[in-house]
Amino acid sequence: MTNDLDKQVMAKAQAWLDGDYDEATKQEVRFLMENNKNELIESFYKDLEFGTGGLRGIMGPGSNRMNIYTVGAATQGLANYLKKNFEGEEIRVAISHDSRNNSRLFAERVADIFASNGFKVFLFDALRPTPELSFAIRELKCHSGVMVTASHNPKEYNGYKAYWTDGSQVTSPHDVNIIEEVGKVTEVAQVLTGRNAENITILGEEFDKIYLAAIKDLSLSPEAVAKHNDMKIVYTPLHGAGVKLVPQSLRNYGFNNIICVEEQMVLDGNFPTVASPNPEERKTMAMAIERAEKEGADFAMATDPDADRLGVALRTGKGDYVLLNGNQTLVLLMSYQLTRWAELGKITGKEFVVKTIVTSMMPDAIAEHYGVKCYNCLTGFKYIAKIIREQEGKTKYIGGGEESFGYLPGDFVRDKDGVAAITLVAEAAAWARETMGITLYEWLQQLYVKYGFFREGLVNVVRKGKEGAAEIQQMMVDFRQNPPKSLLGSPVVKILDYKTLEEIDTKTGERRAIEGIDEKSNVLQWLTEDGTKVSVRPSGTEPKIKFYFGVKAPLCCVEQFEKVEKELDEKIAAIAKELNL
């Protein structure tokens, strides 16, 4: 390490040894100073940034780690902003957490700080899903809320999501203003603790019933469920927050044959049965799929640790199981909602759906078919929530989602809702079986015949640590300076740069503003003459840069599905190779 960085890190570490920190934390810092200089650098070379969504990082001592002190500073900064923004009001906040190590500790710390600032605090009695926290903010008329979670990150991580009055994660201008206030909290003594414990109200099962009743109201095909209530449903919470409410929600709809993966019903922040608690990965879903094979179930489903994302594996006609990507899950849920809304006469021309810019283009085609507006927004559910907020009182939200395995049916929650989404997947399966005599996988194939075979791919390039972050930023600079002129021989005809909010016609050089997007983001998109779309985006929460691929071909009939699927997958692989990924 350089002399300057060495001095900076040692000075910050020494400040923790000299400061008002607990003895256990100081012992951990001493150990790093004496035994692990590399880890010491990673722990202190910068402050863990309170980003536009909150905090996320590896747990441990240090200014760049998740611990009670970085969580405390973030909470006090948020509290200070709330007091400025809602001067004279009794400020109300809700707090929940997932099953991760230290999540309850951090949640109770957050509750203590808010209570010490004189706020009315609603704290769940144990872990609860992120969507229920969003619901609680709205239901209890809170000004803000905090969810302690690192979503589907590895076990070493934890995080902190900050929410606003409408139950969505904070957006502009509050996000930037909160960051400014958090930056002002530089001393442990500035964080208020140990006061007003009477301000904390504990939420339990009675509140769960209110949330589950709202999900029940989303039901579109109760008759189909009644006829197929014994359908075998395999579910796993992956040791996380879906453990109680997902099975309860399925039973509320009328399903009575719910088969849980018992080994993964155990709450454990070490996630002992999986390498990573991410339902996007087949190896994470392996135990659920094995159980589905044993039981002969039509599908296996999972939620991630905070139960906002869902994974769905469907049985094919050959008897094996295909793990859907997030785009396919979104397409099925949106198609189901729009189909049933149309059949029930609920579409009036004043309804809308939402998806993110890196999500498949198939939902646009589906929405157009039903005469429903499809909005595109920046990546992140807070932007979907922002559109819902802007449209309230004007048009009706049906559903929306993003490729990263998140979907929100209905607007009583303003974040991804794995509990509601899983329940609707099950209902859609019952409806498909009752009305068409087919499985969800067979219906998905029919949708590709109807709308075109949209196929997506994702490549994550991981670059960890300080050097990795710099390398990712340089990759984006290089792509802006030297974008590809063609992809697999098809000319790039349009470049969308969301950092400048410009759409560039590569043939004419004409530049114009990107429609419908009013906030900047470090994302690039290349659109080719043959309809291919490639999106490049550094992750906001993980040390990686993401490449999203979207290709399309006509599908004449279901019998040609596997052939066309293989061709499209080969095309995606060839594009990735051409980009040296």
Q: What is the pLDDT along the chain (581 residues), one digit of tens a residue?
A: 467 778 899 999 999 999 999 999 999 999 999 999 999 999 999 889 887 778 999 999 999 999 999 999 999 999 999 999 999 999 999 999 999 999 999 999 999 999 999 999 999 999 999 999 999 999 999 999 999 999 988 999 999 999 999 999 998 899 899 999 999 999 999 999 999 999 999 999 999 999 999 999 999 999 999 999 999 999 999 999 999 999 999 999 999 999 999 999 999 999 999 999 999 999 999 999 999 999 999 999 999 999 999 999 999 988 899 999 999 999 999 999 999 999 999 999 999 999 999 999 999 999 999 999 999 999 989 999 999 999 999 999 999 999 999 999 999 999 999 999 999 999 999 999 999 999 999 999 999 999 999 999 999 998 887 778 888 889 999 999 999 999 999 999 999 999 999 999 999 999 999 998 988 999 999 999 999 999 999 986 667 899 999 999 999 999 999 999 999 999 999 999 999 98
Q: What is the pLDDT of residue 54?
A: 86
Q: Which residue has the tokens 């005809």?
A: 493
* DSSP assignment of 356-403: ETTS-SHHHHHHHHTT-EEEEE-SSHHHHHHHHHHHTTTSEEEEEEET
Q: Is 116 annotated in the active site?
A: no
Residues 295 and 89 sit within 8 Å (Cβ to Cβ): no
Q: What is the pLDDT of residue 2?
A: 62
Q: Token pair for residue 26?
A: 């100081």
CA dihedral sign of residues 71, 75, 76, 78: positive
Which numeric CATH code is attached to 454-578?
Answer: 3.30.310
Q: Which of 417, 418, 442, 416 is nearest to 429 (CA)?
A: 442
Using one digit for the tens of pLDDT, what is the confidence trace for 331-380? Answer: 999 999 999 999 999 999 999 999 999 999 999 999 999 999 999 999 98
d(CA 280, CA 297): 20
Q: Token pair for residue 503?
A: 């759409």
Q: Which residues pair with 202 in a beta bridge?
A: 123
> Quick one: residue 93, left, alpha or beta (phi over 0 = left, psi -120 to 50 = alpha)?
beta
Domain 46-203 has CATH 3.40.120.10: yes
d(CA 227, CA 223): 6
Q: Which residue has the tokens 């397409």?
A: 331
d(CA 95, CA 202): 10
C-alpha distances (whole Å) from 429 to each of 237, 267, 298, 425, 501 are 20, 29, 8, 6, 40
Identify whether 173 is preceded by a cis peptide bond (ω within 30 of 0). Answer: yes
Residues 521 and 500 sit within 8 Å (Cβ to Cβ): no
Q: What is the pLDDT of residue 84?
A: 97
d(CA 77, CA 386): 23
Using one digit for the tens of pLDDT, what is the confidence trace for 74-119? Answer: 999 999 999 999 999 999 999 999 999 999 999 999 999 999 999 9
C-alpha distances (whole Å) from 173 to each of 143, 163, 180, 214 are 15, 13, 11, 30
User: How would CATH label the architecture of 211-218+225-451?
Assistant: 3-Layer(aba) Sandwich (3.40)
Around Cβ 35, how many Cβ atoms within 10 Å? 9
Of the residues 63, 99, 116, 151, only one is catalytic, namely 151
d(CA 496, CA 490): 17
Relative to beta strand 406-409, strand 120-124 is unpaired
Q: What is the pLDDT of residue 541?
A: 63
| Torsions phi, psi for 161 (to 5 deg) | -100, 130
Report angle CA 498, 386, 531 to the nearest 5 degrees.
Answer: 40
